[in-house]
């Protein structure tokens, strides 16, 4: 019989979820689905628990069985659905400066030919850029259902500064052995990228969405994780050399300032120090 997860990464996007998936999937005491982002508890909940359980059919006696999905934090029903389906699982988020997260998400849109030509226009027309920075609102839904000790909050700044310490915090939270990182994994800094051909990248993304809609998440995950595919489609860019306009930064900070205050009050995070709010 398939096992259901006892661990979920619930968001946000552009805050290290791919790195975390690629790292934890190698841990001998942890089983993760080959495909990140099953989207069961938001997009595909009508497929039922049997469908979801089938995604974990290859899990054996690993101590941790988990899914990493970047959008559950923001769906208004996801926390309740997770609790009703899985019970008192362990939940994790990795928080990133909301401006940097929104900007990185915008760059991702652009490399796939999605959205307006400017960040300012995208902030007006793509509400998810701001909504996915409302970390406190999303976390509150989980804290209504889960004890604080079952919710792990990591910071993307810490991942960039010291990947091993960041990972050690996760494995301690999960109650599994530390996993030493190799040189390549320590040097991975989740580089931003641009499409070699926006038209081709957009077509590939549409194809991936179609395959996922037709129950092909495993195939999508295998393709997305292929270094050859990534190198063929994208080229790295220097994130530090590409920055949003200062006026757009102020827009995001004004919109999400209350969320930062709420996070500080609940978790005591050093947000103003590390994010400059």
Looking at the domain assignment, is residue 199 inside a domain? yes
Q: For residue 106, what pLDDT is reported?
A: 92
Domain span at 235: 7-275
* Main-chain dihedrals φ then ψ at residue 151, nearest 5 degrees: -125, 115
Whose CA is closest to 139, among 103, 108, 95, 88? 95
Find the CATH number of the domain harbouring 179.
Answer: 3.40.50.300
**What is the pLDDT, as a whole number, of residue 234?**
46
Domain-located, residue 231: yes
In a domain, 167, yes or no: yes
Examine residue 86 and state whether it is found in any structural domain, yes or no: yes
Compute the distance between CA of residue 252 and CA of residue 272 in angstroms, rounded to an integer: 15
Q: pLDDT per residue over 173-198, tens digit each?
A: 999 999 999 887 776 555 555 544 44
Using one digit for the tens of pLDDT, what is the confidence trace for 203-223? 555 565 555 565 655 655 555
Interval 71-115: pLDDT, tens:
999 999 999 999 999 999 999 999 999 999 999 999 888 887 888
Q: Is the pLDDT of residue 272 over 70?
A: no
- Report pLDDT digits (tens) over 228-255: 655 555 455 556 556 889 999 999 999 9
d(CA 40, CA 46): 8
Question: Domain tally for the chain?
Answer: 1
**Residue 1 within any structural domain of the chain:** no
**pLDDT above 80 (res 3):** yes
135, two tokens: 């970390």
Angle at 140 between CA 139 and CA 145, to 5 degrees: 100
- Number of C-beta neighbours around residue 1 at 10 A: 5
3-state secondary structure 210-271: HHHHCCCHHHHHHHHCCHHHHHHHEEECCHHHCCCCHHHHHHHHHHHHHHHHHHHHHHCCCH
- Sort 117 into a burial class: Cβ within 10 Å, 0-12 / 13-18 / 19+: exposed
180 within domain boundaries: yes
pLDDT digits 0-9 by tens, 103-115? 999 988 888 788 8
Dihedral over alpha carbons 15, 225, 28, 145 (to 10 degrees): 40
Specify if 2 maps to a domain: no
């Amino acid at each position: 019989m398939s096992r259901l997860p006892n661990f979920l990464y619930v968001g946000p996007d552009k805050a290290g979820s791919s790195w975390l998936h690629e790292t934890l999937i190698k841990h001998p005491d942890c089983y993760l689905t080959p495909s990140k982002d099953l989207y069961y508890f938001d997009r595909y909940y009508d497929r039922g628990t049997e469908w979801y359980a089938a995604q974990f059919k290859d899990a054996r006696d690993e101590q941790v069985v988990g899914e990493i999905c970047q959008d559950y934090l923001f769906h208004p029903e996801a926390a309740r659905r997770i609790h009703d389906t899985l019970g008192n699982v362990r939940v994790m988020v990795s928080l990133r400066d909301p401006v940097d997260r929104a900007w990185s998400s915008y760059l991702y849109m652009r490399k796939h030919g999605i959205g307006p030509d400017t960040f300012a226009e995208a902030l007006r027309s793509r509400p998810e850029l701001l909504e996915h920075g409302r970390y406190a609102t999303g976390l509150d839904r989980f804290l209504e259902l889960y004890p604080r000790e079952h919710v792990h909050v990591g910071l993307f700044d810490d991942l960039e500064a010291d990947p091993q310490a960041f990972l050690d915090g996760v494995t301690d939270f999960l109650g599994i052995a530390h996993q030493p990182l190799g040189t390549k994994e320590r040097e991975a800094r989740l580089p931003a990228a641009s499409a070699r051909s926006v038209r081709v990248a957009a077509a590939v993304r549409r194809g991936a969405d179609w395959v996922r809609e037709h129950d092909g998440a495993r195939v999508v995950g295998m393709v997305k994780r292929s270094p050859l595919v990534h190198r063929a489609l994208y080229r790295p860019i220097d994130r530090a050399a590409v920055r949003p306009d200062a006026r757009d930064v102020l827009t995001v900070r004004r919109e999400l300032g209350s969320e930062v205050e709420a996070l500080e009050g609940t978790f005591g995070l050093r947000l103003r120090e590390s994010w400059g709010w």
